[in-house]
Chain A
């Protein structure tokens, strides 16, 4: 009997992994290409959620699901053009300070515009309810999040590993100077990757708004977990982020099953353990410019 409960936690951990993956994927992309540690990632996630709450009454949840990530991605273009671009080659501390400031500006702006109280938002009635998968029961909405996360991963993978665009981006991650010497300007690629990464944060915001509180500090709440996932997975590793998200989801679930107070601490312990054994993370590659 206990075994089936344990298995239930493991399978639920996979779903929770999708939750962490959505938040961490964009962070990892921007981190890998430009070396920007985007502390404002949670802020863009929050903007995505607030856009969903504001747009859903006008164009429905489906409309908001499409529009919010695009709008947040457009914001990503502006942020890259105005800020990120100036920091690719400078001391990482500077971009850290910049994005830390940006995170505070976003949180405070949301507080000024929408107030500090959480805004009401629910799962659309059509997506509510439970689904029976064999002996297990899952909320339909979690399965949808899982599906969207899979689709986002597949699309990102295709873009990075199967297109001409992706080849330049991957070359840029390894050796930006060589890409320049070959006569390719990395600038538009950087802009596109920032838009994509920040747009993914917006997507996470829309999807999680119905199941978590929509308030100005919601970004700060998830940011640390997102970083832990990226670090465990390994810098620059696409599959690493995915493996880490699933691992964090499952380990956290099992920890809560046996010893709930350590639920959140489990991911930090996992990170410490992984870094002790593999200092570059699970699948971290050796990247010239970060060594």
Chain B
């Protein structure tokens, strides 16, 4: 008993000493620092089944901060990132609040999970802080759940579907064809399947199988047997994260030859599949073979820093910070209200594509070009990153960018 009493007292003393030290030295340091830095919060899952993408997100945003600071910062101040793992919607919400209240960040960038993005978006609306979503695809975030402070550089599910759908039409894989789909059994998958099914059936395709796959499934063989039995013309994946890697690997293992496509996709999961496993036509918001001067430069700098090329997730977080820095400079302010207004007024940004992108005021979705890629034959791969050939970009050069954006169905009600 006496022993434990002693321990408690010691712990207490240590605690007091620590607090004093912090109060005496730590606090003024932070206050002093705040005058010459702009803090930006970054929240994204780095554990769990979206973790691989989160790692790319962090690499992207760090590179952007480094480039901005080397170039003299913004408004004479350095960018300082406060980076956290968002884990799940509850944690994401709590951390967003802490970033805003305690760390006094100027705005927040990040997220991949649609559920967590919704949670952060709600905090953003309540505290009137700008949040740029870099990886969550659910259309509901741009519809019923939209708000004036949540912006989306990432494409909505419906944009992914339209982007790849145009190429599938050109390849004659929709009209009169039989489709079999595997869908991740949670909010994102359901949302994606809904828009995918609408697109396919409207264009004359037909679903002969639509299986839901639990997110904890690692063995796909019973599904693959069903697909082989059903003999579809096209197999479509509405899976997410690591699920796609497992599916691609086992699809190749079972030797199925039906063409694959997918409506949700990230390059990292296909890089992780291994030689000879990846096949099909897939949509991407950006890929490392996009041939514009700014894109080429980004790929070069990123590859030099991290030893591997960037993928679509790092693109989102890199560009978001660049957009924010540019907006701060243009408005000569870091006021969140001014930032939101500036973004919503149609300011244009170089997002490493042949045409500039802009946020449309209806739902704060970035209107921009998108891409589709076709898996490369294993024998033609130059290295482990060289897994697909670009098919081109949507919309075409003469078309309005906005034909790709989600339908304005009136569910988003942001006051103009």
Residue ranges of A at the interface with B (Cβ–Cβ < 8 Å): 5, 8-9, 12-13, 15-16, 19, 111, 115-123, 125, 128-130, 137, 139, 141-142, 210-217, 221-222, 224-225, 252-253, 256-257, 260-261, 263-265
Contact = CB atoms under 8 A, between A and B. Distances in A.
B255 A139 contact: yes
B52 A116 contact: yes
Interface of B: 46-49, 51-52, 54-56, 185, 211-214, 216-219, 221-223, 225-226, 228-229, 242, 245-246, 249-250, 252-255, 268-269, 271-277, 384
Contact of A117 (B48, B52, B254, B277): B52
A189 to B, nearest CB: 33
27 contacts: A8-B225, A9-B222, A116-B47, A117-B268, A118-B268, A120-B271, A120-B272, A120-B273, A122-B249, A122-B274, A122-B277, A125-B276, A137-B228, A137-B255, A139-B253, A210-B253, A211-B246, A211-B249, A212-B245, A213-B272, A213-B273, A215-B242, A257-B226, A260-B212, A263-B213, A264-B214, A265-B214
Contact of B222 (A12, A137, A139, A211): A12
B216 A120 contact: no
A116 B308 CA distance: 13
The 7 closest A-B pairs by CB, nearest first: A118-B272, A213-B245, A122-B274, A256-B222, A120-B274, A260-B211, A116-B55
A121 B384 CA distance: 10
B280 to A, nearest CB: 16
A218 to B, nearest CB: 8
Contacts of A253: 221-222, 225
B218 A116 contact: no
Contact of A142 (B56, B211, B221, B229): B221
A265 B213 CA distance: 11
B56 A117 contact: yes
B274 A212 contact: no
A130 B252 CA distance: 11
Given A211-B253, A264-B217, A122 B276 contact: yes
Nearest to B267: A117
A120 B275 contact: yes
Contacts of A216: 51
Nearest to A264: B214
A221 B213 CA distance: 15
B272 A119 contact: yes
